[in-house]
Amino acid sequence: MRVTVMQLKSGYILKKDVHALSDVPLIPSGTVLSETHIAFLKAFLIDHVEIEPVTADGKRVAPGEPISAVAASPEPDNMAADAPSAYYQYAVTGYHLFFKSWQGGANIDIGKFRKMVIPLFEKNIHDPVWMGDFLLHRKMIRSRADRNLTLGLLAAFLGMKMSLSQGDVNQIGLAGALADCGMARFAPALLNKSGDYIGREQAFYRRHVVDSYKMVKTVPTLKSETMLAVIQHHEREDGSGYPLHLTGDKLSIYGKILAVCDAFLHLAVRRDKTGWPVRTMDQVRSRYYGKLSSYLMDRLFKELMTLLIGMTVELSDGQTGVIIYLSERNPTRPMIRTETGEIFNLENHPLVQIVSVVNQDAD
């Protein structure tokens, strides 16, 4: 029985394999569908599937059964314009599936990939409330899909704040989201390893930059600057990066943007949440001084801190208050209005740190 994906319900049984981006079935025949399977099918823009006429619990499927409310399509065209979280979750679901297809040897289907991620760069980054809440909840540490999409989001966000055209913002967002696609070529043991890579593992890890570049360079709609950003996102201003050991004067602006955003995410994943995200910004600035563009680090951190204005902070001296003003020179040391109404300038108190930030409006 052939039905639309929107008509599917949990408990239906696939009659035929469903293929998306490779010869390996996305979901094999005989699978009893769950809501997760249905979400995957929608994320891969599958329109119709063949199902058995009887469900897993023995009930017959009525032809032309009305579309279930739970199965409403999550595709971007059908999402509410004010639902950035839905766009993001749609992209996370789809990214997991794209990565699985790349592991099976598939090429990047840029048409479907763009449809999945472009709403993040055209809608989400323009919503400061959503961006601030997203940053605070550290979703980038949940999975590889979250991290790679967050790299695209941060790069696009910084590009937008630097007044790049929307087309260029989309391109640098795509570069970020695809920068680590070459990890699909890793052996499972290396891909799923927790902790740092050591010895020969480090050399294999560094190959992902070249593998990612090889995958994106065949995509006709990506600009050359986008492809350069992918291969340059681990390069450093002083030439200590890889794979080409280029110095800052030979790096593209896209590559420099990705390098700054990637370094921020690298420490975000490896540090606890104490003082997040302010402490991580300070750690990046200290650890990568002379290695990343100081201008781009300062610009990114100023824009991220701007998202936190109006949020409540707890200080290491026990005080709490609200961020009310950022210094141009040192945005991670903002002015705080304390609970007693006092204006407390962190620039004048170097030993006092922000230990937590809370978006009370979102709680």
Q: Residue 354 sits in a domain of what CATH number?
A: 2.30.30
Question: Does residue 238 share a domain with residue 160?
Answer: yes
**Number of domains into which the chain is organized:** 3
Question: Does residue 135 share a domain with residue 53?
Answer: no
Q: Residue 214 sits in a domain of what CATH number?
A: 1.10.3210.10
Question: Does residue 20 share a domain with residue 132?
Answer: no
Measured CA to CA, the distance from residue 198 to residue 28 in angstroms comes to 38
Question: Does residue 240 share a domain with residue 132?
Answer: yes
> What does the pLDDT profile of the chain (363 residues) look like in tens digits?
888 888 898 899 999 988 765 565 778 889 999 877 887 787 667 888 999 999 998 888 876 554 333 333 345 544 444 478 888 988 998 898 899 999 999 999 999 999 999 999 999 999 999 999 999 988 788 889 999 999 999 999 999 999 999 999 999 999 999 999 999 999 888 888 777 788 888 888 899 999 999 999 999 889 999 999 999 999 999 999 999 999 999 999 999 999 999 999 999 987 778 899 999 999 999 999 999 999 999 999 999 999 999 999 999 999 999 999 999 889 999 999 999 999 999 999 999 999 999 876 654
Q: Which of 360, 349, 331 is nearest to 339 (CA)?
A: 360
Question: Does residue 60 share a domain with residue 142?
Answer: no
Regarding pTM above 0.95, the answer is no
Question: Does residue 253 share a domain with residue 137?
Answer: yes
Measured CA to CA, the distance from residue 63 to residue 51 in angstroms comes to 11
Question: Does residue 346 share a domain with residue 277?
Answer: no
**Under 8 Å between Cβ of 331 and 309:** no
**Under 8 Å between Cβ of 6 and 67:** yes
Question: Does residue 19 share a domain with residue 123?
Answer: no
Bridge-partner residues for 356, per DSSP?
A: 314
**Under 8 Å between Cβ of 259 and 232:** yes
Bridge-partner residues for 357, per DSSP?
A: 313
Question: At which residue do the structure tokens 């997760």 appear?
Answer: 36
Question: Does residue 187 share a domain with residue 133?
Answer: yes
Question: Does residue 358 share a domain with residue 291?
Answer: no
Measured CA to CA, the distance from residue 314 to residue 9 in angstroms comes to 46
Domain boundary among 17, 47, 73: 73
Residue 350's domain comprises: 309-362
Measured CA to CA, the distance from residue 267 to residue 283 in angstroms comes to 8
How high is the pLDDT of residue 350?
93
How high is the pLDDT of residue 38?
84
Q: How far is CA 41 from the centre of its chain?
A: 21
In degrees and rounded to multiples of 5, residue 357 shows phi and psi of -125, 135
Question: Does residue 328 share a domain with residue 265?
Answer: no
Domain boundary among 265, 280, 305: 305
